[in-house]
Structures are given as structure tokens and as C-alpha cells.
Structure 1
């Protein structure tokens, strides 16, 4: 048994697992994922509620966006719909200045993602005037989420999965390259984009298996608060995949795993 454990230990060193884990600790991956989830719920969700409510096609509003992202259907999707503010009421109650304020708050999420990518690649923080990149990223993120939800009924099964992976790969490759200001070559960012897209697909399956029944149970036991806690847990998983995928991609892009900490 001792020999087996020693062999596994040396195998982990050989494949570079230790540097990868060490980098994850230095990045404070779980702490950063929790911050991502909180910021998304506080700054991005209100903006997306208004954007989804203004959708001329009117296909369920933000609740449909969220349910589709989590891979939910049936009763669990209806539970989420009940706790989301009715779309029409949101549009009527939101002024122009209110919408601008929501957009400004939403840009903070782009700043958090940019900072996370900079930490992954050991880059200095970008200057304040790069906020236009964060605002542009927020607009593209909204468009990305919108098209994902709109294709839900038009495409299904394996073609939908392939489209989910393809659009996710393109978006997260572009996100890294754009938010980092082209400081890292695009080919080095590709493995991280692939890892992120695949990770989100896996999280979607996990959500369907675990979170879907959990939402129904929590709605009965704890009401809306229980449902929000499940959503927050899912968002933590999203944050972990976004930053963890980029970190894993950097590790893969290095010539030798033990050089992970080098630029």
C-alpha cells in the first residue's frame, strides 16, 4: 500500500498536478468563485432581468434564461419562474437612469473576471481606462446568454450540445484575449477556453442531476430563500469553472508542467 501511495505521489509530480494545485491555492480559487457568484447575483442578475424583460420575442424572461443555463425543466423551472419578478413589471418600474445604473454595476463583474484572468497569467492589473473593455465584455456576455436561450427550442439533443460547446469555446477564448488586452497569445488561451466550455457542459449535467430535485425540495422546505441558495451554489460552480478552466488551460499551454509559475 505504501508503495502504491508513493507511486501515485510521484505520478502526480510527473504530470504536474502539484504545481497546478499550488497555483489554485495562490489564486484562492474557491474564494474567487464565491466572489464571482455573489457579484453575479447582485450586479448582473438585475441587469439581465431588465434585458430579458425587454426582449421583443417574450420567451419567458430571465427565469427562462436561468433555467436553461442550469439545465432545468418541468417543476424546478416553474419554481424558479415564481421567484423572479414578472418581466413587464420590471420594465415599467425601471427608468432610463435606473437602467444605466444597472449597466454600471454590471461592469463590476467584468472587472472581477478581468482581474481573475490577470492573476491566472501573473499579469499586472490593467489601468482604470480599460473599463471600456469590461463594458464591451458585458454587452457580449449578454448577447451570448441571449442566443443560448433563444436556440433552446430551435435546436435540441446532440446538435444543441455541440452548439453549446462551440459558442462557449469562442466566447471564453475571446473573453480571455480581450480582457487581457492581447498580452497573452491567442493560441495559449485556447486550452483554457476548451476546458471552460467542457467544464460548463459538465456543470450543466450535474445541475440537472443534483440541483433540479434540490430546488423543488428546498422550495417546499425553505421557500424562495432555499431556491436562491441553490442558484447561488450553481453560480459558485460557474465561477470555479471559469477561473479554474483558465488556470488549467495555462497549465496545459506550458511546455513543461513544472514551469507553471513562469510567465
Structure 2
């Protein structure tokens, strides 16, 4: 019969309480609904905007289809199915109007609203003031620029050094995104774990895409035609949404745990100012 000491029971109770608080954070974030909203908004607003931007690539490649295939990390057969869904860069530039591009930019601003709302929920912060909406325009412009920069860099198998640079750029972007959209209400040091966790999650999703989504795109294209490819791409966007919101949440939990341990190791330092009267 296993006998548990009172001290051990206390420690178990503390662990259960911490696990309960962590689960409460996950539940309050509404991760799954936010990921679904991220995927729907991305497919309706961000993807058309990126199609136009990618068409301006002077290299004369396949445009957004090539971007998306490289981002997914899928095989050449799967890339071929993706290319069938999108027009070639020349056709995109000929059919794009200034009004259509302006509407895409306006609708794309809602992406920043969704991201800001998710970050605020992660850190239990109230919504920002209405006049802070300019951050959404700045964030969207930087996002498009970063995606374009990452798209024109060589893939990992061609240039590992450029791949490492792409990882560094992505980490800096997610770090800066949290700071900008939260209006500087959270310290840089507290936001870094979330940025690193987000980038690690995206790298893991790339490997998962290569192993799972790549064969699914090829098989669904045979079974369901172009709709099957769209379905897989939408599923991939949902997974992106889970990582984009789940990464900052994991960073918040890690930061809170490290802060709690630091305070436990140095209780005298925390109580030092209060113990010195007259200062």
C-alpha cells in the first residue's frame, strides 16, 4: 500500500491547481473557434491580397501557387494541384483594378483585429481604444512584406543558411506583432517565449504538411477535383490559426511558470523594499 505524506499531498494539490489554471487559460482563449475564424478570414481576405502581391514578383515564377506550395512544404505533385487553383501572375496583374486592391486592403485590416483580440485574451487585457486601429494597417503592411521576403528566399534544402535567416525573421515578426498589437502593455521579455513557440509550431506544421497534407492533396484532387485541394488548404489554414494563437498562449504559461519559480527562489528579494522603512 502506497503511503503519501502530507507534504506530498500538498504538492499534488498545488500541481492540480496549476493545471486547472492552465486549462482555464486554454478554455478562455477559445482556441478552436479562433482558429476557424482565422482560416475563414485568411481565405477570404489575406489570400486574395497575397495573390496580387505575389504576382508582382519579378522572377516570373508561378506566383501565389508557388508561394503556397513552398510554404506548405509539399511535393511537386501536390504543388501541381495547387497551381491549378490560381491564375498565373500575368493574368492576375491584367485583371486587378485599383478599387479591388483597395477593398482587399480594407478587408484585410480585419485580420489585425482578430490577431489583437486573440493576444489580448491570452494576456487577460481589455480591448484597446478605437484610435489604436492604425496598428492594424501597419501590421498588415509588415505582414505582407515579411511573407514576400520569406517567399523569395531559397527553401531549406537549397540553402540552410537562408532557412535559418527565415526562421529568425519569422520569430522577430511574431515578437514584434505581439508588442505592437498589444500597444506595449506587455514587456518584450514576456513576449519572447510566445514568439519562439509560434515559430517552432510553424516549423513542426511544415513537417506535418510534408508527411500528411502532401499525399492528401494528391489523393483528394483525384477523388473530389479542385474542391478536394481547397479543403486541404482550408484545413492547413485552421492549423496555422491554432499555432498562431496557441504559441503565444504557451509562451504566456511558460513565462508565468518561470516568474513563479523565480519568486519562490528569492523571496527575500521580493520583500526587500517593503522590509526597509523610510525608503
Residues 1:19 and 2:17 aligned together = no
- Note the aligned Cα RMSD (angstroms): 2.5
In 2, the alpha carbon distance for the partners of 1:240 and 1:10 equals: 30
In 2, the alpha carbon distance for the partners of 1:28 and 1:251 equals: 16
Residue 11 of structure 1 and its aligned partner are, at CA, apart by 9.6
Q: Cα deviations across residues 103-122 of structure 1 (Å, max 9, x unaligned)?
A: 01111111111111011111
In 1, the alpha carbon distance for the partners of 2:244 and 2:18 equals: 21
Q: Cα deviations across residues 143-199 of structure 1 (Å, max 9, x unaligned)?
A: 111111111259735434422321121010000001111110000000000000001
Moved more, 138-147 or 208-217: 138-147
State the partner residue of 2:272: none
Residue 128 of structure 1 and its aligned partner are, at CA, apart by 2.2
In 2, the alpha carbon distance for the partners of 1:225 and 1:160 equals: 34
Moved more, 159-168 or 185-194: 159-168
Q: Does the 8 Å contact 1:43/1:102 carry over to 2?
A: yes
Q: Cα deviations across residues 88-112 of structure 1 (Å, max 9, x unaligned)?
A: 2221111111111110111111111
Q: Does the 8 Å contact 2:46/2:108 carry over to 1?
A: yes
State the partner residue of 1:119: 121
In 2, the alpha carbon distance for the partners of 1:217 and 1:134 equals: 39
Alignment TM-score, normalising by the size of structure 2: 0.84
In 2, the alpha carbon distance for the partners of 1:141 and 1:11 equals: 44
Say if 1:67 and 1:15 are closer, same or farther in 2 by CA, change over 3 A: farther
Residue 55 of structure 1 and its aligned partner are, at CA, apart by 2.1
State the partner residue of 1:129: 131
Structure 1 portions without partners, runs of 5+ = 258-263
In 2, the alpha carbon distance for the partners of 1:191 and 1:11 equals: 27
Residues 1:77 and 2:79 aligned together = yes
Residue 124 of structure 1 and its aligned partner are, at CA, apart by 1.1
Residue 64 of structure 1 and its aligned partner are, at CA, apart by 1.1
State the partner residue of 1:51: 53
Moved more, 52-61 or 94-103: 52-61
Moved more, 208-217 or 49-58: 49-58
State the partner residue of 2:260: 256
In 2, the alpha carbon distance for the partners of 1:155 and 1:219 equals: 26
Alignment partner for residue 244 of structure 1, among 222, 243, 246?
246
In 1, the alpha carbon distance for the partners of 2:97 and 2:13 equals: 59
State the partner residue of 1:139: 141
Moved more, 157-166 or 186-195: 157-166
State the partner residue of 1:181: 183
In 2, the alpha carbon distance for the partners of 1:201 and 1:11 equals: 36
Question: Which is bigger in relative contact order (C-alpha 8 A, separation at least 6)?
Answer: 1
Q: Does the 8 Å contact 2:156/2:163 carry over to 1?
A: no
In 2, the alpha carbon distance for the partners of 1:130 and 1:149 equals: 30
State the partner residue of 1:40: 42
Residue 65 of structure 1 and its aligned partner are, at CA, apart by 1.2
Structure 2 portions without partners, runs of 5+ = 4-8, 262-279
Say if 1:10 and 1:76 are closer, same or farther in 2 by CA, change over 3 A: farther
Say if 1:147 and 1:12 are closer, same or farther in 2 by CA, change over 3 A: farther
The structure with more radius of gyration: 2
